[in-house]
Amino acid sequence: MFSRVLIANRGEIVVRIARTLRALGIESIGVYGADDADAVHVRAVDRAVALGGSVLNETYLSPDALVAAATSSGAEAVHPGYGFLAESAEFAEACAEAGLVFIGPPADVIRRMGSKTQARRTMRAAGVPVVPGSTEAIRDTAHLHAVASAVGFPLVLKASNGGGGKGFRIVRDESELDRSWERASAEALRYFGDDAVYIERLVEDARHVEVQILADAHGTTVHLLDRDCSVQRRQQKLVEEAPAPTVDAELRERICRVAVDAATAVGYRSLGTVEGLLAGEDFYFLEMNTRIQVEHPVTEMITGRDLVADQIRVAAGEPLGFTQADIVARGHAIECRINAEDASRGFLPSPGTVMTFDVPEGEGVRVDSGVEPGSVVSPRYDSLIAKLIVWGEDREQATRRMLRALDELHIEGPSTLVPFHRRLLSSRQWAAAETCADLVTDPLWLKEVALPAKL
């Protein structure tokens, strides 16, 4: 086992990882940019190293700076968290070249799964169902129209090497195709440095269901059940729950088997997530996230496992120490992402200083956060203030507990998604386990989020 691990990230996930490192008796090393010197995550670790820069390419997106911080501090391994360089094969290779263990899958697996077109080819060859569409990037307008004609409308243009709703365009008919391709390609280039775009058939109002998998270096791969992440705005998740509420035991077994097959097909090792679309009884592979997910706490709540600890043990070469039969779902968990955004204004970002931050407590309630009163939510970084997670014996109890916790969560300063979550979880659509897409995309419904609650 490691004695010292550097966490190559900032904010909430650093606090989360440091907590597990402390429980394992491992010293945690943090890093920070110039604007983060007083951040909560700097005090959450045992020791912090200044990265010396003031822009992302000099700090959290600089492999050289992060590797230098790890080697100078005597770290043996690097945990990338999520975001930034967590899915960078180049960073994983830089760590290996410096004699550091990258707490994640091998670089070649990250590279293969990082390209969605290559991932689709790999999964299709392994017999894993994928959404109908292309497995090569679109090269020119002739290729664009040929593939679109074969796939059929409506369709989706997606960045080959990105995600998070960037480089994503829905195309309803051929008249929109050329302009949508230009915009998707330009956005993909701006955000990911690569303008490659591919085509998928649009699966209308499908559910976003994913499976947590874990594989060690000794040939054992298990799944840790499923999550539903269907409540999204602009292809970015807002609410996650586990297990998926519309998946029965037979379908769950099939979906989880697909995920294990997908991981096995690429020789996966570490913690990862197989994301898919569920349309009726049909489950299609979307992508594999080769890192810990923002929503991992809901899986921890229903399985009783510390996924970060499992991830670290695997990276240290240890066997899992448990089998698939040991993974049993208990109860239901829900996570609400508390972002600094104004839902009533179309989820407009709301950066600013957190003046008050009072969190709920009690049975089955968990808050993961990297802020405190006085913390600044900067427009330069993700708008996440906290993750509010609850557990209940069933979905109904978990929903009631979440509504109570939202009432007890007091944040003054930036506008947040707390009112949005209260209204969403009180809706008929949520109670019926719908995707809630009709609400999240309805400007009039969103405007009502800002109104005082009815007594």
Cβ–Cβ under 8 Å, residues 106 and 112: no
User: Residues 154-168: what's their mean pLDDT?
Assistant: 87
DSSP line for 328-387: ---SEEEEEEEESEEGGGTSEE--EE--EEE---STTEEEEES--TT-EE-TTS--EEEE
* Beta strands at 27-32 and 47-50: parallel, antiparallel or unpaired: parallel
Cβ–Cβ under 8 Å, residues 335 and 295: yes
- Residue 166 has a pLDDT of 85
Whether the predicted pLDDT of 454 surpasses 70:
no
- Residue 399 has a pLDDT of 98
Provide the pLDDT confidence category of residue 100 given band limits of 50, 70 and 90: very high
Instruction: Please identify which residue in the block is written with the tokens 């009163």.
Output: 373
Residues in Cβ contact with 309 at an 8 Å cutoff, skipping those fewer than 6 apart: 20, 23, 24
Q: Give the other-Cβ count within 10 Å of 24's Cβ.
A: 16
Cβ–Cβ under 8 Å, residues 201 and 133: yes
pTM value is 0.94
Q: Give the other-Cβ count within 10 Å of 7's Cβ.
A: 28
User: Residues 221-226: what's their mean pLDDT?
Assistant: 98
Provide the pLDDT confidence category of residue 450 given band limits of 50, 70 and 90: confident
- Rounded to a whole number of angstroms, the CA Rg of the chain reads 21
Range name among 126-130, 354-358, 405-409 with the lowest pLDDT average: 126-130
* Beta strands at 4-7 and 77-79: parallel, antiparallel or unpaired: parallel
What CATH architecture does domain 4-103 belong to?
A: 3-Layer(aba) Sandwich (3.40)
CA 137 to CA 287: how far, in whole Å? 15
Does the annotation count 111 as an active-site position? Answer: no
CA 67 to CA 326: how far, in whole Å? 37
Whole-Å CA distances, 373 to 161, 369, 390, 410: 37, 12, 23, 11
Query: Half-sphere exposure of residue 223, counting CA atoms within 13 Å on the CB side?
Result: 23
User: Residues 80-108: what's their mean pLDDT?
Assistant: 97
CA 27 to CA 126: how far, in whole Å? 41
- Residue 453 has a pLDDT of 52
Q: Where are the domains of the chain?
A: 4-103, 132-201, 207-448
Whether the predicted pLDDT of 194 surpasses 60:
yes
User: Residues 146-172: what's their mean pLDDT?
Assistant: 90
Between these two residues, 21 and 204, which has the higher pLDDT value?
21
Whether the predicted pLDDT of 455 surpasses 50:
no
Whether the predicted pLDDT of 452 surpasses 70:
no
Instruction: Please identify which residue in the block is written with the tokens 């979307």.
Output: 286
Q: Does 132-201 carry CATH code 3.30.1490.20?
A: yes
Per residue in 352-406, pLDDT tens?
999 999 999 999 999 999 999 999 999 999 999 999 999 999 999 999 999 999 9
Q: Is 180 helix (H, G, I), strand (E, B) or coil?
A: helix
Provide the pLDDT confidence category of residue 451 given band limits of 50, 70 and 90: low
Query: Half-sphere exposure of residue 89, counting CA atoms within 13 Å on the CB side?
Result: 11
Residues in Cβ contact with 237 at an 8 Å cutoff, skipping those fewer than 6 apart: 208, 229, 231, 294, 295, 337
What tokens appear for 354 in the block?
A: 């957190």
Cβ–Cβ under 8 Å, residues 241 and 226: no
Cβ–Cβ under 8 Å, residues 327 and 243: no
Q: Is 177 helix (H, G, I), strand (E, B) or coil?
A: helix
Whole-Å CA distances, 304 to 60, 257, 297: 31, 21, 10
Percentage of the chain surpassing pLDDT 70? 99
Per residue in 249-290, pLDDT tens?
999 999 999 999 999 999 999 999 999 999 989 999 988 999
The single residue of 291, 305, 337, 366 carrying the catalytic annotation is: 291
CATH number for region 207-448:
3.30.470.20
- Residue 115 has a pLDDT of 87
Whether the predicted pLDDT of 135 surpasses 80:
yes
Provide the pLDDT confidence category of residue 92 given band limits of 50, 70 and 90: very high
Where would I find the beta strands (DSSP E) of 15-140? Answer: 27-32, 47-50, 77-79, 101-102
Cβ–Cβ under 8 Å, residues 298 and 121: no
* Beta strands at 27-32 and 4-7: parallel, antiparallel or unpaired: parallel
Whether the predicted pLDDT of 304 surpasses 90:
yes
Q: Give the other-Cβ count within 10 Å of 353's Cβ.
A: 13
Please choose, from the candidates 128, 140, 132, the residue with its C-alpha nearest in 3D space to the C-alpha of residue 211. Answer: 128
CA 219 to CA 215: how far, in whole Å? 7
- Residue 193 has a pLDDT of 84
